[in-house]
Homo-oligomer: A and B are copies of this chain.
């Protein structure tokens, strides 16, 4: 699957879920394979609504079975690190958070991940749409467990 195909599929999933994007947002859906070249297995499609100095909101669109691999958001300077709330909108996502058993989120269910806490997640068989409400997002500070990952 190419990045363009993944972007088109994410746009279709969002439309099916009744989540309206502007044409510019649809064209700008970010597709990342995290540098591993196995997009269908490991990767994310992302709509960034807003990312100010204080607040970030995104939709994460995941293909069936797709994984976002283990990482954490460490403190940076005076910032304690990114805090994230994941809220499932469509499909299901299995969330693996350090210190917790597996947490499966279905539509309407959510979980808040504290800063600097290892986590990874995988979409179920239908894929998933997950709203992320967080503090400022700075991808370059994310620490992935797999040293082959680039973001």
Contact = CB atoms under 8 A, between A and B. Distances in A.
A85 B20 contact: no
A23 to B, nearest CB: 9
B21 A108 contact: yes
Contact of A50 (B19, B20, B112): B112
Interface string A105-146: 001111010000000000000000001011100000000000
Interface of A: 17-22, 25, 49-50, 52, 54-57, 83, 85, 87, 89, 107-110, 112, 131, 133-135
Given A20-B107, A21-B108, A54-B83, 13 more contacts: A17-B18, A18-B18, A20-B89, A22-B109, A49-B133, A50-B110, A50-B112, A52-B85, A54-B54, A55-B135, A57-B87, A57-B131, A133-B133
